[in-house]
Structure formats: C-alpha cells, structure tokens
Structure 1
Amino acid sequence: MGESGKVAIIGTVGVPGRYGGFETLAEELVRAAARTGRADRLTVWCSAPQAPHPLPDSYLGVTLRYLPLRANGAQSIPYDALSLWQAARSGHRAALLLGVSGALALPALRAVSSMRIICNIDGVEWQRAKWRGAARMVLKRSEAAAARWSHQLIADNPEIARHLSETYGRGAVEIPYGHEDTNPGPAADIDDLALPDSYAMAMARAEPENHLALILSLFATDPSLPPLVVVSNWADTAYGRALRQRFAGHARLHLVDAEYDPARLAAIRAAALYYVHGHAAGGTNPALVTMMGQGLPIAAWDCSYNRATTAGQAAFFDSAEGLRACLQRFADHSAARAMGAQLRAHAQARYRWADVTDAYFRLLGL
C-alpha cells in the first residue's frame, strides 16, 4: 500500500535495532509484522547519521524513512518533531511515538492533522540526574505535552502509569517489554574480550543515576567478590570517560564497550553468575527484564520501578553496604538459584515478546 493508512514508528535510531530499549521494541514490532503479513502497514523513521550506508529503503518489508539528524541527545527534539510532521503530511493514520522528545510539536500537529498519536512516554526522563536547568524544563514540558495531546498513552511499568494518573489525570495502557531473544543466531566468539570464565555482570549507560561508580568501587575494593564485567557506552559521555579512566587499571574489573550485536551480548551474559542493576530512573528497563529471563539472581537498586518490574523478588540495595549484603546472600548458592528461578518464571509469565507485540498491534489497529 502507499503511505496513506499506514502506521509510523517514531522516536528511535531505527531498525535493525542496535541502540537501546526502544530500538529493540521497534525491531520486535517489525519482525512480528513481517511474520503476520502486516509489514506493508508500517513505516519506521530512522536517523541517517546513525544508520548503515548505503541507506536501505526497507527492512523485512517495512518502509524506512530517514532524517539527517541524530535520534538522541539535543537533536532528538527536532528529529522526533520532524518525523511526526512527515508522517502526518504523508497520510499515516497513526503514529507510535516512543518517548516525549518531540511532544512539544503535538498541539500544532493536532490542529492540522487527524493522525492518531499513541505515545509510550518511557521513564520520567526529566527526573534523570544528567538533566539540569533548561534541558530539564524542556523535558518536563514535553512530558506534559505528551500527556495532554496524545490520543493514547502507554506505560511500560505500573509506577509510570501511576505517575501519569496522579500528575496529569490520564490513564495509560500498560504494556511491558519482552525478555526473550526472538532472533537467536549462531553462538558468537567473544575471545577478543579476554573475559574470565565466570563473573558478576552489570550493563548500563554511563549516567550518574545508574550508579556504576558505586558498583565498580565495591568490586574494586572487595577481593572476596568475583570479577565484574560492566558493559557500557564509556566513550560517549564525559562521565563515562572519567569512570573508565578511574577504574581501567583494576585487574578484576572488565570494562567492555557498549555491544549491540545480540549474539555477542548473549555470549557475554551466558557466563554471568549474577546481575547487578544500578538503574534508579526510568520504567521497566529492558536489560533488567532480559537478565530476569536468564534465570540469574539479581541485586537491583531499591526504587519503585525495579520493585515493580521484578515483583519484589530481587535483592535490593541503596548503598555500597547494601549491595555488599545482597552479594553475600548470593554466596548461598541454593538461595541464589531459587531467586533466579523465581525471576525467570516471572519473566516468562509477564514479559513475552509475542504478548507485547500483540498488545501494540491491537492498540495501533493493525
């Protein structure tokens, strides 16, 4: 079909997914659409500077459109806003807006277009420690605009739904993330990383609210703990570069660059003894859901989002000593295995990609 009547997916770097949670979601929606004969009903807006070249015009039968802007950082605001305008002008009947960066454009868009806007607001982005001053104000106003002007809101976590209800008086459809790798490839060779045979693992963007400094400090100073592998985008921020410089000399710490190849990530996860999740902001974090699906015991930062995601079945910490106490619990292998089994059972019941994509398709009318 032509553009008219199609659904646009807006707010990601693009597909194939290689960046983060929303990209994984977009990838899963595209794969599910391809499996079920819906691929010709979707268009995904992509970032040309972050896409492979030459730029493909389709992926698994889904149309790809490009803008010459980056999909994250400050450029995400014009990137999302222009994507929305292009989708409306080309006759798309609905847009799935992932995140609130472009939401300040919604009042004007609603005035001139009948395109239905369905917005997953992600976490409460303006609360993240990295945002200050004008940036925080813009994000807070963007969230308010998304809540006011979207036809439908999606929350990936019950705490996000509660925030939307209490702050804006808006209900939200709760749709979480999936945990399984629905496109498993051959086992990857990660010998180039020179990792130990087994280790604790953390995976997070290098941002203050993810508490990597606390986690790294504890493992660097406590020889009773196993080696620690941390996968992060160290080079992308001043904070990440400072962390890498501070901790790179510790033999028991392995600081791995952000890895977006699913097979390599699976190989890294396979040798993990347990997972340490320091995220304090956001909603349902995809890395946490994935590790739950692995059946690993998990020590998670004690916040309402993580308690909701894990149904309170992880171990929780809010300090270095609290983390040490969590890890001491894991020394009881029987208790650690039992926790991992509980978390895996919850992930299998709650976080299945087939259920997630079906829920999105129902909401989008596909």
Structure 2
Amino acid sequence: MKVAILGTVGVPGRYGGFETLAENLVRYHTRTGCQRGLTVWCSGKDNASHPPRFESAELRYVGLRANGVQSIPYDAVSLWQAVRSGHDRIVLLGVSGALALPLIRLVGRRARIVTNIDGIEWKREKWKGLARIILRASEWAAVRFSHEVIADNQAIADHVRGTYGADCHVIAYGGDHALAHTGEGTTPKGLPETYALALCRIEPENNVHTILEAFSGLEIPLVFVGNWSNSAYGREMKARYAATPNLYLLDPLYDPDTLYALRRRASIYIHGHSAGGTNPSLVEMMHFGVPVLAHGCAFNRYSTEEKALFFDTPEELKALVRALTPTAAARIGNDMQEIARRRYTWDRIGEAYFALLERA
C-alpha cells in the first residue's frame, strides 16, 4: 500500500493546522516503523529548499502555491500525480481540489480517497460571492466523491449528516507536540510575569475585536499573538488597541521553545474561534492545564466537553474573567488537561488515520 498526503504547504509544518497534522502523521509513520510507502506533496513555491525526504516520507513538489487562488490547481495537480504514480491510498486535507475528484476517480480506479473536509470553509466571513460558491460546491464534491470523509469535530459531522445525508469519521487533532521543547525558552521582553493569552490568525471569525474590547476594560494583562499586518482588519485592531496599557499585541511566534515558555506563563487562555471545527491552537493549549474561556460555538463546546467557560460578547467575557476564582480556574485547567490527554494526542490520531486507511 502506497499512501499519499495532499493539500498542505508541506512538511515539516510551518504554516497551519493541516501542515501540523501532515507532519505528525509522518512522525507516527516513522515512530511505528510502518512498512507502507508514504509520500507528501509539497508546494514548490512556498518552500525555499526542496529536500527529497522528511523522516520516513518521500517529498514531491508542485510549482504552485498551496493557499489562496492557486490552492485549487495545486490540489488538482497533486491528486493527478498521486494516482498516476500508483498511490492507492490518498489523504486529501481540505476541499480546495475536490471538484477534480470525479475525474480523478475515473483515472485512478484503484486509489481510495480519504478527505478531511476541515471546517465549514464556505461559511467563513472572508469568503464572498464566487469564492463562497466554489467552496460550497467543493465541499459537496468532497463528500460525494471521496471514499471516506473525516471531520475533525462532531459538530462538522452533524453538518455533513444534516446537509448531505452522509456519515463522517470524527478524528480530531493532536496537541501534545506543543509540550515538546529543547529548553525552558524565553518569552519576549517586556511582558508581565503572568497574563491571559490569546493566539490565533487575526480574522473577524476569531472574534479578535470581542476579546480586545473586553480586556481593554479590565486590568489583567492580555498577551495576544497574531498576524496583525496581514489584513486591513488586523491593522485596524492593532491601531485601535496597541496603546492600551494592559494589552501586548505580538507578531507571530514560531519557535517551539518561545511558544512553550509563553504558554507556561499564561494564567488563562482566551479562545475566540467561532469556525473551523477542532482548532489546533485550542487543543494545544489544553495540554498545559490552563483554564479556557472560549467562544460559545458548538465546535468549542464539543472540543472541551462543555467544561470550559463560554462567551459570545465582550460583556460576557469581561464578566467571566472578573468572576473566575482560583479554585474554579484550577478545576477548569485540570479538566482541560484530562480531556487533552485522553483525546488529543498524536499517537491516538495517527493510529486512527492509518487504521482508516487500512479499512478504506
């Protein structure tokens, strides 16, 4: 059996959740001594160097970007190359190239396609008009023409069942890689000893404005890490709140030791995501045993088994922070860590993926 992983920038992961997933599936493949051949398709444009291998996986490159408009031909070309090179198990991460699946299934009749449909991408606020129509059609094609479909959250599986009458395998993400570090690491200079922490892409659906408005009316420090310069929304938020004394708005951090140190010093984690299923940043932070205050969408409630605290408005978040006692914080933090160790480890996720590939 030859396995192909498609739909990411590449490995090792340096971009987002799917790249982290692909990297840890490769590491699981290496760690368990799996004899199945494994190939990961990577973007030739998004990777400065083109190493031929990563751990036990062969790497192949397509000369397109893996995100934005080019993601559609990037995924389609990757699918074509995977079936033409004899891969009989294909893991497609995301639905960008799913409109090509009817043709791919005609060409590669032996190949079994397993698609992780990600969040309900077409509902995200950043997609309008034609882009939203294409993404919705791609979601339909992914469900209709994949042999197996993976949802990373039960709320997404419920959406697929209700919309398309199809069943999904629910397999989340691991988060225990966030505990790996080579040293204690150091946080950026000028931060207080302890603080509330938020870490995400700066997008409206992640409720950055809600979090910043709430904490601008509190005394507790908030460290907020994100890509503030990448959008008009991010630049507006930073311009409005950067001078607020208790708000520390940091640019993205990627060094594992620095992220580890930053998370270890947090007293509260604020999670504003309202879309996307099981968010990697949430399950990573749950391993640190810190109380989570999360947006009250169905995705977050499922991920935390309803044991986090939930908000929808700045006023609700502000009230939750003010009312949080040390006893309640310790209880919620312990609950988050117990759930993470039980559900969100890469050994568990890797085992589920490869077992599904065997059965597909």
TM-score higher than 0.5: yes
Give the CA deviation at 1:77.
1.2
The match for 1:335 is 328
The match for 1:101 is 96
The match for 2:356 is 363
Q: Does 1:147 align with 2:147?
A: no
Change (3 A) 1:198 1:183: closer
Give the CA deviation at 1:204.
1.1
How far apart in 2 are the matches of 1:12 and 1:301? 27
The match for 2:132 is 136
Secondary structure, counterpart of 2:176 in structure 1: coil
Q: Does 1:67 align with 2:62?
A: yes
Query: Any conservation in 2 of the 1:100–1:121 contact (CA below 8 Å)?
Result: yes
Task: Write out per-residue CA displacement over residues 260-294 of structure 1, whole angstroms, 9 at most, x where no aligned residue.
Answer: 22222111111101011101111111111112111
Task: Write out per-residue CA displacement over residues 285-314 of structure 1, whole angstroms, 9 at most, x where no aligned residue.
Answer: 111111211111111101111111110001
How far apart in 2 are the matches of 1:118 and 1:314? 32
Query: Any conservation in 2 of the 1:329–1:336 contact (CA below 8 Å)?
Result: no
Query: Any conservation in 2 of the 1:193–1:256 contact (CA below 8 Å)?
Result: no
How far apart in 1 are the matches of 2:35 and 2:255? 23
How far apart in 2 are the matches of 1:189 and 1:311? 31
The match for 2:85 is 90
The match for 1:32 is 28
Give the CA deviation at 1:188.
5.4
One-letter amino acid matched to 2:356: L
How far apart in 1 are the matches of 2:262 and 2:47? 25
How far apart in 2 are the matches of 1:291 and 1:259? 15
Give the CA deviation at 1:254.
1.3
Query: Any conservation in 1 of the 2:3–2:36 contact (CA below 8 Å)?
Result: no
Q: Does 1:113 align with 2:97?
A: no
Q: Does 1:194 align with 2:190?
A: yes
Change (3 A) 1:213 1:182: closer
Give the CA deviation at 1:187.
2.2
Give the CA deviation at 1:247.
2.1
Q: Does 1:174 align with 2:147?
A: no
Change (3 A) 1:300 1:192: closer
Give the CA deviation at 1:193.
4.3
Change (3 A) 1:363 1:349: same
Q: Which structure 2 residues correspond to residues 186-335 of structure 1 after superposition, within 5 A? A: 186-187=182-183, 189-223=185-219, 226-330=220-324, 332-335=325-328
Root-mean-square deviation (Å): 1.6
The match for 2:73 is 78
Secondary structure, counterpart of 1:321 in structure 2: helix
One-letter amino acid matched to 1:365: E
How far apart in 1 are the matches of 2:70 and 2:184? 34
Query: Any conservation in 1 of the 2:172–2:278 contact (CA below 8 Å)?
Result: yes
How far apart in 1 are the matches of 2:61 and 2:245? 43
The match for 1:348 is 341
Give the CA deviation at 1:248.
2.1
Q: Please, which moves more after superposition, 253-262 or 29-38? A: 253-262
Task: Write out per-residue CA displacement over residues 50-106 of structure 1, whole angstroms, 9 at most, x where no aligned residue.
Answer: 2242x1010113101111222112221111111111111111111100110110110
How far apart in 1 are the matches of 2:188 and 2:338? 33
Task: Write out per-residue CA displacement over residues 232-271 of structure 1, whole angstroms, 9 at most, x where no aligned residue.
Answer: 1222222222222222222321112222222221111111
TM-score under structure 2 normalisation? 0.95
One-letter amino acid matched to 1:234: W
Secondary structure, counterpart of 2:196 in structure 1: strand
The match for 2:52 is 57
The match for 1:158 is 154
User: Which consecutive residues of structure 1, in runs of 5 or more, have no partner in the other structure?
Assistant: none
Number of matched pairs: 358
Query: What percent of counterpart residues are identical?
Result: 51
Query: Any conservation in 1 of the 2:43–2:64 contact (CA below 8 Å)?
Result: yes
One-letter amino acid matched to 1:62: A
Give the CA deviation at 1:337.
0.5
Give the CA deviation at 1:195.
2.0
User: Which consecutive residues of structure 2, in runs of 5 or more, have no partner in the other structure?
Assistant: none
TM-score under structure 1 normalisation? 0.94
How far apart in 2 are the matches of 1:99 and 1:66? 18
How far apart in 2 are the matches of 1:300 and 1:129? 19
Query: Any conservation in 2 of the 1:235–1:241 contact (CA below 8 Å)?
Result: yes
The match for 1:185 is 181
